[in-house]
Amino acid sequence: MALAPAFILVAGATAHSSAPVTRPAANAVVAALPRTVSITFGGRLMRVVGVQVVDRKGVNHATSARLDPRNAARVLVRTTRPAAGRYSVRWKVMAEDGHGQSGTVSFRVRP
């Protein structure tokens, strides 16, 4: 699930869904990367276009990404267990109304 290196919130997309809530949260410092990273949007999604959990070397630690079957506004991302360091979660999704949305949040795994 490759994505372009630059991620910009698509114009107009914010009218359909508020800024997503991620776990881990933006700028959080966590003891270990959870097996599942989540991205929860303010509105229902039609599909996941792509998600990456990238370290500073550019290695993608996401093994899969899908809509949560119990919550169509949430994306669940399975990950590998990487080492300490800074990570960026990059996503691109399609909202239920057909508008694309993309973004990035970063967090750190402490040593």
Read off the pLDDT of residues 61-106 as tens digits, 9 standing for 90 and up. Answer: 999 999 999 999 999 999 997 789 999 999 999 999 999 999 999 9
> Could you tell me where the beta strands, DSSP code E, fall in the chain?
21-23, 29-30, 36-40, 45-55, 62-68, 71-79, 85-95, 100-109
pLDDT digits (tens, 9 = 90+) for 4-15: 333 333 333 333
The CATH number that applies at residue 29 is 2.60.40.1220
The answer to whether position 2 is within a domain reads no
* Tally of domains in the chain: 1
pTM score above 0.75 = yes
Residue-number span of the structural domain to which 19 is assigned = 13-109
